[in-house]
Amino acid sequence: MALELSCTRAEADQKQLMRCRETLGTNSEAIVEISKVLALAGNETRLRILFLLNEEGELCPCDFADILEMSVPAISQHIRKMKDVGLITSRREGQILYYSLVQNHNEVLDNVFTKIQKNKKVA
């Protein structure tokens, strides 16, 4: 709560600290938005879902349940979070909802996918 300075060392560069605060202010919105995307992709199950969508184009919740050997509601709840943030969309075909990546926000995710593929086990 108290807003005291925690560090009183001589070397503390006040100009640097000010510059840092300003940098954070300028980039604040981007940081908030991108941290949301990273937090979503930072879950193994969701990263697998995103990676598969990148590979396959579109899949339905029950595909994921089969592939990942998880319950359908568990999958559905992960999907909802990603849809809420706009990472993925759906298209209905009868009873089936096909999900796919939204190509919009995703320079960051594209790079993640590339990195995953590059690090894949060749053995």
Partner DNA sequence: TAATTATTTAAGCAAATACTTAAATAATAT
Partner DNA sequence: ATATTATTTAAGTATTTGCTTAAATAATTA
Give the binding site for its own copies (CB under 8 A): 3, 5-7, 9, 11-12, 16-17, 19-21, 23-24, 26-44, 47-48, 51-52, 55-56, 59-60, 62-63, 65-69, 71-72, 95-96, 107-108, 111-112, 115-121
Count of alpha carbons within 13 Å of 102, Cβ hemisphere only? 13
Say which entry of DNA, its own copies, none residue 76 contacts (CB below 5 to 8 A, set by partner kind): DNA
CB of 69 to its own copies, least distance (A): 7
If one asks whether residue 85 binds DNA (CB under 7 A), the answer comes out as: no
Instruction: Give the CA distances from residue 88 to residues 11, 77, 91, 99, 118, in Å, rounded to whole numbers and listed in that order.
Output: 48, 13, 10, 7, 24
If one asks whether residue 116 binds DNA (CB under 7 A), the answer comes out as: no
Helix (H, G, I), strand (E, B) or coil at 26: helix
Say which entry of its own copies, DNA, none residue 79 contacts (CB below 5 to 8 A, set by partner kind): DNA
The residue type of 98 is Y
Cβ neighbours, 10 Å, residue 29: 9
If one asks whether residue 67 binds DNA (CB under 7 A), the answer comes out as: no
